[in-house]
Chains A and B, each alone.
Chain A
Amino acid sequence: MLEMDAKPKLNLPPPFDEAMRRHEGEILRFILRTSGDRDEALDLFQETWLRAYRSYRQLDSAEGLRPWLFRIASNLCLNRKRDRARRAKVIADVELHEEDAGAVWPMHDSALHLKSILRRLPNKQRQALVMRKLGGLDYGEIAAALGCSEEAARAGVYLAMKKLKAE
């Protein structure tokens, strides 16, 4: 070939099923961590992928996929939490005090402890921390997922860690 410039790639995200295969594990883990209730997590998981499928055609790069999925999941988790908080006001905090009602997976003491302190963190810090430490996303990806700057993502993780250490 005489042409020196390489053929441009379209840089489309992978087929949806491929995207699911690649990320369903970490998304479920993230949702379980954020929500803490198993049945609710399965619900949110389902909703995340349905929503992702519906707007998958608007996603225009392969790199954006992972933070985009996390963003959908985290928004759904937040919505759910907000709705539940609203409902909880009405039914006098009953649900909020049902400690670990849905936690049926075997957990170490340290994990139980982690869960309880994660719960007390502000949403953004918790999500940043979970994405960073349990999801293994880099700060750029977290920033894209949470819709904030990279510095804010870094600060969120840092503050969360500081709070955890103070516990």
Chain B
Amino acid sequence: MERNIESYFEDGADIPDETIEKLLRRARLRLAPALDRIRRPFARVAIIDSSIGRLLAAQSTRGLVALRFMDSEDTTDVLNAVRQRFDVFEDDAVAAEIGSEIERLMRGDTGAISARAVDLSLVESDFQRRALTRLRRVPAGSVISYQGLAAAIGLPSGQRAIGNTVASNPVPIYVPCHRVIRSDGSLGNYGGGPDRKLKLLRAEGFGVDRKQRVPADAVYGHWGSRIFCRPTCSAVRRAERRQWLIFADSERARRFGMHACKLCHPT
């Protein structure tokens, strides 16, 4: 017998909406607590177009989780790493916030960058977390050597471990891995390319000489005693020099609250 099959699929033939709604209310009550037990924290992600290139950013409730230059690299690995630990969703507000902070940095205003909290939950080990936390305290306008940073967290010969840590820094710019240079005074490499490293350092007021090395009139400031010296000062023994912060000139060291050495009288 021929029936009008289509009529079965009209609204009335299906389960009525009120029934679905009633069942949904019941189902939601059961589902919510079960979901809450396995829920991950939130992170908002966005693509940022800035004057130093396109970036991918992820921001959790605790701080900036990840930032990655997007020019040629594939960013799915970063995104996947973030998604392992966070529920992500796209939010252009993040692009606006981070983007404007980076623009301010490129104009020489470093305050916004250091004010934002970072969330180091993508960092693998405690050692790395400690190193990156310490690195955040290296002020804008200065640099530190890999060896110096290693010494600063109590591992004087750990420059290689520091090298790896800095290379895998999930939050560049905000955790200033561009401020870590080689002990010989050359800039060394950078995840976003050496050109960007130079650009960032210049924006922060750390100039380099024509060979892109630490300039000859740079001064060495001691983190603990807050005294800065000429590189030739007898107080700066060669081995120790590497554990110091390097400022492009005396003026910048003073701005960071350091005092001139009484022995070598840096100008």
Seen from chain A, the residues whose Cβ lies within 8 Å of a Cβ on chain B are 3, 7-10, 12, 14-16, 18, 24-25, 28-29, 32-33, 38, 41-42, 45-46, 49-50, 53-54, 56-57, 105-108, 110-111, 113-114, 133-134, 161, 164-165, 167
20 contacts between A and B (CB under 8 A): A3-B49, A7-B54, A10-B47, A12-B90, A24-B28, A29-B15, A42-B26, A45-B31, A54-B38, A56-B87, A57-B80, A105-B15, A105-B19, A108-B13, A111-B12, A111-B13, A133-B8, A133-B9, A134-B9, A161-B5
A8–B90 alpha-carbon span in the complex (Å): 12
Contact: B24 with A28, CB < 8 Å? yes
Smallest beta-carbon distance A121→chain B, Å: 13
Known contacts A8-B47, A32-B15: does B27 contact A50 (CB below 8 Å)? Answer: no
Contact partners of B24 in chain A: CB under 8 A:
24-25, 28
Smallest beta-carbon distance A84→chain B, Å: 20
Contact partners of B87 in chain A: CB under 8 A:
15-16, 56-57
Seen from chain B, the residues whose Cβ lies within 8 Å of a Cβ on chain A are 2-3, 5, 7-9, 12-16, 19-21, 23-24, 26-28, 30-31, 34-35, 38-39, 42, 45-47, 49, 54, 56, 79-80, 83-84, 87-90
Smallest beta-carbon distance B196→chain A, Å: 19
Q: Of B31, B38, B79, which one neighbours A46 at CB under 8 angstroms?
A: B31
Given A7-B54, A10-B90, A165-B2, 5 extra CB contacts under 8 A: A10-B46, A18-B89, A28-B23, A33-B15, A46-B34
Q: Of A7, A10, A42, A57, which one neighbours B23 at CB under 8 angstroms?
A: A42
Known contacts A28-B20, A29-B20, A57-B83: does B27 contact A45 (CB below 8 Å)? Answer: yes
Closest residue of chain B to A105 (Cβ to Cβ) is B19
A41–B84 alpha-carbon span in the complex (Å): 30
Enumerate the 5 nearest inter-chain pairs by beta-carbon distance, A residue then B residue, closest first: A57-B83, A105-B19, A133-B9, A15-B89, A114-B8
A42–B23 alpha-carbon span in the complex (Å): 8
